[in-house]
Amino acid sequence: MPSTSVPPPAAEAVDALPRQRVADPDFWLTVLAWVTIALSCLQILLMSFGRDQGIYAVVANGLLHGKMPYRDLWDFKPPGIYLVYALAQAVFGRSMLAPRLLEVAGLLGMVVAFRSLAGTFFGLQRVGIIGGALAALIHAQLGFWHTGQPEAFGGFLTAYAVVLTVSDPNRRRAWIAWAGAGALFGVAFLLKPPLDGGALVCAAYLAQREYRRTSRRLPALWPVLVVGLASLVPIGAVLLWFKLRGAWPALYWTFIQFTPGYTRLGWHQHGAASAFYYGLEEAFFHFSALAAFGVIAALVIRPTHTREREGLFLFFGIVSVHIAGIAMQGKFFQYHYSATLPLIAFIAGLGLYKLWRRCLPGGAGGMIAFASFLVVAAVMRTAVRDLPGSFWWRSMVRMEYLLGKTSYSSRELLDRELYYVADYNLDADRRVAMDIAQNTPKNAHIYVWGFEPVIYWVARREPSSRFIYDVPQRVTWQRRYARDQLMQDLERRPPDVIVVEKNDVFSWVTGDRRDSARALETFPELQQLIEQHYERDKQIEDFTLYNRVQSPDDGAGAGR
């Protein structure tokens, strides 16, 4: 009897099914988020130094050559930012691009952290990518002046610390993750002390979680102890470093005697409660309409995951501590918020995703409505508005330069077009520095009576004094001591060139309305030194250059 071949029923069933194309409705939203992240990072990479970045670069370069912050090169920011810039120059070379590369690496790492946190609290990692895209966009909008700051790098560390905080509590050796989170917060303290307050929130979160898991009070205190002790390790290591290098007295004078006077300048404008409210309003509504709408949507639209509220409480707790720190400083500079804005963007990313999912049932019309909302909200408000042109115009100029479709044939020409604000002009600083570099030997020393330390860095000339800018000599609360120290420095290393700046008025830093040129009139010792031993050479923008007059007593001249 002939056998008949019968196809398996399963095969028939498979062949009978029509082929279907499964489409992820979130695909294009995710693509848009990654494109935003990439373009924002490109914008940051094309940003040059502002005034503060010049300070950090000068101190970092000295650190790489054996000098110590505060003792040999003075500024009053915490030491962590100099270590960051020193790392950037050691790894990527001595350029304005180096710290930007490290900044972009930190920003991308934060996006990865947000992706992990969104998976933990919201059940969808793509929500973290949306929040990361908004954080990257806001960060790029802060511009050259308010990026590359201690708060930015501290914000990255905060995100990484939160990832370690929420890691699986049931795995063995969970204390290692707790210690890692504490250490990261300790490093954040070295960048900006109030950022270490996030450790308190995370420790409380861990304690509450351990108590729920074990129902015992003593084990619940274990993560608090681990986080606290671990946060002290990097702080203690840096303090020991200063002690062993003999820089402790300079550190003490800077933070115990000088900095409190600077901080008090902002306190007369706000009470404690009003300062906190002002900082809260600024953080959530001043920098980005997209972030504001996103946060509102995240709170108003019902939760989509069982752990959503848990995550929101954790992030809002850290944000509250950050804003309290900003209020304590009393200055409310935009970059003071750059550690906090990414956390707000993470929350806003959840809200934006909820809005997107609400629009999807509307089909093409709903998607167009959502896209229109993104465009309108994105241009409604940008993070800063005191830079030349708009953020979108500056971005277009930078992209045209990057693609070679612009009249700016060199980076210097691009800098001239984009990087100036108020009394600061990078192009003028560069022209002063180039003039000094061309007319002095490489081993010359110079001194800038003003607030432009980047001149030292671009000219590649050593400062004659530890005071790389003149704020300590201009303030009322430590003026006498700082002036005496400056004159001793100049006597030990007489500068070949002295640069005097005008129009650098910033009462929120110095406490008065004098610029450096007018402040020089109140400093007879330095004024007499210039009159007796220097002659006026030239004027470049707001800078007057004085060359040292050679005499038989100095032979070839100081520094030559």
Query: How confident is the model over 529-547, as pLDDT tens digits?
Result: 999 999 999 999 999 999 9
pLDDT of residue 408: 80
Cα(first)–Cα(last) distance of the chain, in Å? 112
Residues 272-290 have a mean pLDDT of 94
CA distance 243 to 548: 37
- In this predicted structure, the answer to whether residue 1 has a pLDDT above a threshold of 50 is no
pLDDT at 269: 65
**Residue 266 confidence (pLDDT) above 90:** no
Average pLDDT over residues 87-97: 97
For every residue of 166-209, DSSP letters joined together read TS-TTSTTHHHHHHHHHHHHHHHHHH-GGGGHHHHHHHHHHHHH
Spell out the residues 6+ positions from residue 441 whose beta carbon is closer than 8 angstroms to its own: 559, 560
Q: Hey, how many other C-beta atoms are within 10 angstroms of the C-beta on 297? A: 19
Q: Is the pLDDT of residue 21 over 70?
A: no
pLDDT at 20 over 50: no
| pLDDT at residue 506 is higher than 60 | yes
The pLDDT of residue 23 is 64
Q: Which residues pair with 449 in a beta bridge?
A: 500
3-state secondary structure 452-496: CCHHHHHHCCEECCCECCCHHHHCCCCHHHHHHHHHHHHHHCCCC
pLDDT of residue 212: 87
Give the confidence band of 552 by pLDDT, cuts at 50, 70, 90: low
pLDDT of 557 = 42
Instruction: Provide the residue type at 72 as one letter.
Output: D
The whole-number average pLDDT for the span 26-47 is: 96
The one-character DSSP state at 67 is -
Look over the chain and give the mean of its residue pLDDT values, rounded to a whole number. 92
The lowest-confidence range among 99-113, 191-205, 267-281, 394-408 is 267-281
Of 84 and 22, the structure prediction assigns the larger pLDDT to 84
- Residue with more model confidence, 207 or 271: 207
Lookup result for tokens 């706000």:
270
pLDDT value of position 246: 97
**How confident is the model over 199-203, as a mean pLDDT?**
97
Checking if the pLDDT of 16 tops 70, the result is no
Q: Which pLDDT tens digit goes with each residue over 245-265?
A: 999 999 999 999 999 988 887
pLDDT digits (tens, 9 = 90+) for 329-371: 888 999 999 999 999 999 999 999 999 999 998 888 999 999 9
What pLDDT score does 526 carry? 98
Tokens 């570099």 -> residue: 437
The residues with which 84 forms a beta bridge, in sequence order, are none
Residue 13: what pLDDT?
A: 39
Going by pLDDT thresholds of 50, 70 and 90, the confidence category of residue 410 is confident
Give residue 2's pLDDT: 47
* Cα dist from 200 to 161, 186, 197, 273, whole Å: 12, 12, 5, 21
Interval 86-92 mean pLDDT: 98
Percent of the chain exceeding pLDDT 90 equals 80
Residue 225: is it exposed, middle or buried by C-beta count within 10 angstroms (0-12/13-18/19+)? middle
Radius of gyration (Cα) for the chain, nearest Å? 28
User: What pLDDT shows up at residue 268?
Assistant: 66
Q: Where are the domains of the chain?
A: 43-380, 387-421, 422-554
pLDDT of residue 211 exceeding 60 = yes
pTM of the model: 0.91
